[in-house]
A and B are shown apart, each in its own frame.
Chain A
Amino acid sequence: MELLGYYNYWVFAIVLMVGFYAVIVRNNLIKKLLGLAIFQSAVFLMYITMDKVEGATAPIIQEGVTDQIYSNPLPQVLILTAIVVGVSTTALGLAMVVRIKEAYGSIEEDDIIAKDRKS
C-alpha cells in the first residue's frame, strides 16, 4: 500500500490544487483570496508532515534518556513564519478588496474590467 503511505502528501497535493483552482476560476475577488489562503495552507501541511518522525517526541533533552527519537523542530519554526506571512498577505489583499469596492462599487472581476473599459 505504497500509495496510502503518502496519505498526507496526497492531501497536500489535493488541497493545493483546490486552492489554485479557486484562484484561477473564481470571479469574485474575496473568493480568489480565500483560494489563495487555501493554497498557502496546503504548503503548511507539507512542512508539518515532513518533520513528523514515527514514535518521536518533542525535542527536549532529558537526563538519563539516550535512546529517544526526536522530531525535527525546524520545519515547525519555518512554517510559523510562513503562516505569519500568509496572514499578512490575506489581510493586505482584503484591504485592497475594500478599496476596490469603494472605487468601483463591485468586487466581481468582470464588472471591474467592464467599468475600466468604459472610462
Chain B
Amino acid sequence: MNPTEHLAALQVVVPFLAAPLIVLLKAKRLAWAATTLTSLLTFCIAIALTMGVLDGQNYQYFMGSWPAPYGIELKVDAFSAVVLLIITGASTSALIAGYHSLDKQIGAKRQPMFFAAWILALAGLAGIVVSADAFNIFVFMEISSLASYVLVAGGPDRRALPAVFKYLIFGTIGATFYLIGVGLIYMMTGTLNIEDMGVRIADVADQSPVLVAAGFITVGLALKAALFPLHIWLPNAYTFAPHIVTVFLAACATKVSLYVLFRFDFFVFQENLGGQQLHFTFFFLPLSVFAILIASAVALFERNLKRLLAWSSVAQIGYIVLGASLVSIAGLTASVLHVFNHAIAKGSLFLAVACLACHIKRLRLTDIAGCAKAMPWTMGAMVLAGLSLIGVPGTAGFISKWYLISAVLELGGATGVFLTAVIVLGSLMAVIYVWRIVEYAYFKPQGKKPAVSEAPFGILAITWIVAIGNLYFGINPELAVTLSESAASVLMGHNK
C-alpha cells in the first residue's frame, strides 16, 4: 500500500477529524496550536500533491473503492493543486498571524469554537477542490460557507452582523442556484461525476433543461465568486470580519467558487452545448471589464483601508474572469496565474493590515496617518505587496498581468487593443489607490493620537515571508507558470 495514494482524501479528512477535537480544547493557546498544526499538515499534503502533479502523476481516489461514475471520486490535477496550495497556505499563514492579532478581537472563551469553525471552513474549501462529484461540491460548498459566516460574524464591530446576514442570504441563493443546475443535469444525464457528465451530456445538449442548468450554475457560482455586479455582499463582509479571517477569505474563498465555475464550464458545457464558447465569452467579458473599471474606481474614493482593499479584490476577480472568458490556453494560463499571484499579494496586504491593527483601533485612512515612522516594517511589507497588486516589474503581479496582456493581444484587432487599455487603466487606478495608502502612512503628519509602535515579531515575520513571496514569484515565476500552463491545458484538453 502506497501512502501517497491517499493524499487526496487526507487533504479533507485530516481537518475534518481535527475540528471536533479542537472544540474540546479549552485553553485558547492549545486550540490555536492544534489548529495551526492541522493547517500546516494540510499545507504539507498540498505541497506533496503539487510535487506529484508536477511529476506527471494523476491523483484519482475512489471513496470506498466504488468505481468512478457510481461512487464518489476525488481527483487532483494541476488546477486543483494550485488552488489547494493557496487555500492551505493562506490558512496557515493567517493562523500564525492570529497568535497576536486574534486576542483583541475575540474573547478567550470563544476562541476554541472559532478555531473549530476555521478548520471546518478549511476542510470545506479543500473538499470543493478535490471532489470530482458535482453534488459533493455543493455539500462542501455549504460546509465552508456556513463555517465562514461564523468566522466573519466573530468580529467585535456590530456592523459585522448585518454584513454576515447579507453574505448568508447571497451565499445561500448562489449555492441553491448551483443545486438546481446540478439537479437538472442529473435529470438529463443520470450522473453526478463531472467528467462523466461531460461525456453523457453530448446526447442531450440541445434540450432546454441543460441550457437552463448552464444558466443556473453559471449565475449561482458567479454570485458566490462575487463577480461584478453580484459582488455587493463582499466589501462589508471583508471589512468587518476579524483581520485574520479577512486574510484567509480574501486569499481563497471567492477563488474556489471560480475554480468550480471554470471546471464546470470547461468540462461539461464547452463544445457540448451549441455556441457555449461564444455565450461564455459574451457573458463574462463585459462583466469582467465592468468589474475592473468600476470596482477600481470605487476603491479610489474609499476612506476605509480594509474596504478599499476589498473593492480592489472585486476588481481582481475581474482580471481573473477576463482571462478565462477568452477561452484560450493563453487566457486560462493568465487566469490561473492571477489566482495564484493575487492570493499572495492580497494575502500579504491584509496581513499587513492585521499588523497595523495591533496598535491602531480603527482603520480609516486618516487613522493610519503618519504611522510609517513608528511601524516601518509593517508599512514596508504593505508597500511591497501594493507594488505587486499594481503589477510593477519584478513582482508576482507583473507576471500575471504580462500574461494577461499577451493573451488579450492574441485576439488582435480593436478588441485586443481595447482590452489592453482596460487592463492598463485598471493598473493605473491601482497605482492611485495604493498611493493613497502610502501618502497617508508616510507623508501625512500624525494627529493627536496615542503613540503607536511596531507590531509583535511573530506577525511581522509571517507578513514579511508572504510579502517576499511576491518578489520571489516575480523573479522566479517558473513554478507558478508551469502549474498554470498545465492547469490551462487540463481545462482546454476537454475542449477538443
Chain A residues packing against B (C-beta within 8 Å): 16, 20, 23, 29, 32, 36, 39-40, 43, 46-47, 50, 75, 78, 81-82, 85, 88-89, 92-93, 96-97, 99-100, 103-104, 109, 112-113, 116
Give Cα A103–Cα B165 distance, bound, in whole angstroms: 13
- Residues 132-168 of B, flagged 1 when their CB comes within 8 A of A and 0 if not, give 0001001100100010011001000011011011001
Measured between C-beta atoms, what is the minimum distance from B224 to chain A in Å? Answer: 14
Measured between C-beta atoms, what is the minimum distance from B204 to chain A in Å? Answer: 14
Stretch at the interface among B180-188, B248-256, B324-332: B180-188
Contact between chains at A85 and B142 (CB < 8 Å): yes
Contact between chains at A40 and B172 (CB < 8 Å): yes
Measured between C-beta atoms, what is the minimum distance from A1 to chain B in Å? Answer: 19
Contact between chains at A85 and B139 (CB < 8 Å): yes
Give Cα A46–Cα B209 distance, bound, in whole angstroms: 12
Measured between C-beta atoms, what is the minimum distance from A90 to chain B in Å? Answer: 9
Q: Does B1 count as interface, using CB distance less than 8 angstroms?
A: no
Measured between C-beta atoms, what is the minimum distance from A19 to chain B in Å? Answer: 9
Q: Does B173 count as interface, using CB distance less than 8 angstroms?
A: yes
Q: Does B344 count as interface, using CB distance less than 8 angstroms?
A: no
Residue of B nearest to A103 (CB): B158
Residue of A nearest to B139 (CB): A81
Q: Does B414 count as interface, using CB distance less than 8 angstroms?
A: no
Give Cα A57–Cα B187 distance, bound, in whole angstroms: 19
Measured between C-beta atoms, what is the minimum distance from B57 to chain A in Å? Answer: 32
Leading 7 A-B pairs by shortest Cβ distance: A103-B158, A85-B142, A50-B187, A100-B161, A96-B165, A112-B162, A89-B172
Contact between chains at A116 and B165 (CB < 8 Å): no
Contact between chains at B169 and A36 (CB < 8 Å): yes
Residues in B neighbouring A100, C-beta threshold 8 A: 161-162, 165
Contact between chains at B183 and A47 (CB < 8 Å): yes
Residues in A neighbouring B146, C-beta threshold 8 A: 88-89, 92
A85-B139, A85-B142, A92-B146 given; A39·B173 CB < 8 A: yes
Residues in B neighbouring A82, C-beta threshold 8 A: 138, 179
Give Cα A92–Cα B169 distance, bound, in whole angstroms: 11
Residue of B138, B169, B186, B187 ringed by the most chain A CB atoms within 10 A: B169
- Within the complex, which residue of A47, A85, A89, A113 is in contact with B168, where a contact is CB–CB below 8 Å? A89
Residues in A neighbouring B172, C-beta threshold 8 A: 36, 40, 89
Contact between chains at B173 and A43 (CB < 8 Å): no
A39-B176, A92-B150 given; A50·B169 CB < 8 A: no
29 A-B contacts, Cβ less than 8 Å apart? A16-B180, A20-B173, A23-B169, A23-B173, A29-B165, A36-B173, A39-B173, A40-B172, A40-B176, A43-B179, A43-B180, A43-B183, A46-B183, A50-B186, A50-B187, A78-B135, A81-B135, A81-B139, A85-B138, A88-B142, A89-B146, A89-B172, A96-B161, A96-B164, A96-B168, A103-B161, A104-B161, A109-B162, A112-B162
Give Cα A100–Cα B158 distance, bound, in whole angstroms: 8
Give Cα A36–Cα B168 distance, bound, in whole angstroms: 10
State the interface size on chain B (CB cutoff 8 A): 24
Residues in A neighbouring B150, C-beta threshold 8 A: 92
Residues in B neighbouring A81, C-beta threshold 8 A: 135, 139
Give Cα A97–Cα B120 distance, bound, in whole angstroms: 23
Contact between chains at B176 and A93 (CB < 8 Å): no
- Residues 325-365 of B, flagged 1 when their CB comes within 8 A of A and 0 if not, give 00000000000000000000000000000000000000000
Residues in B neighbouring A20, C-beta threshold 8 A: 173
Residue of B nearest to A82 (CB): B179
- Other than the given A46-B180, A75-B183, A96-B168, 9 more pairs (CB < 8 A) read A23-B173, A40-B176, A78-B135, A82-B179, A85-B139, A85-B142, A89-B146, A104-B161, A116-B162
Measured between C-beta atoms, what is the minimum distance from A21 to chain B in Å? Answer: 12
Residues in A neighbouring B159, C-beta threshold 8 A: 116
Residues in A neighbouring B165, C-beta threshold 8 A: 29, 93, 96-97, 100
Contact between chains at A75 and B186 (CB < 8 Å): yes
Measured between C-beta atoms, what is the minimum distance from B107 to chain A in Å? Answer: 14
Residue of B nearest to A99 (CB): B161
- Within the complex, which residue of A75, A89, A97 is in contact with B142, where a contact is CB–CB below 8 Å? A89
Residues in A neighbouring B162, C-beta threshold 8 A: 100, 104, 109, 112-113, 116
Measured between C-beta atoms, what is the minimum distance from B496 to chain A in Å? Answer: 31
Residue of B nearest to A78 (CB): B135
Residue of B138, B164, B165, B187 ringed by the most chain A CB atoms within 10 A: B165
Residues in B neighbouring A96, C-beta threshold 8 A: 149, 153, 161, 164-165, 168
Measured between C-beta atoms, what is the minimum distance from A89 to chain B in Å? Answer: 5
- Residues 203-220 of B, flagged 1 when their CB comes within 8 A of A and 0 if not, give 000000000000000000
Measured between C-beta atoms, what is the minimum distance from B314 to chain A in Å? Answer: 21
Residues in B neighbouring A99, C-beta threshold 8 A: 153, 161
Give Cα A85–Cα B137 distance, bound, in whole angstroms: 13
Give Cα A19–Cα B320 distance, bound, in whole angstroms: 33
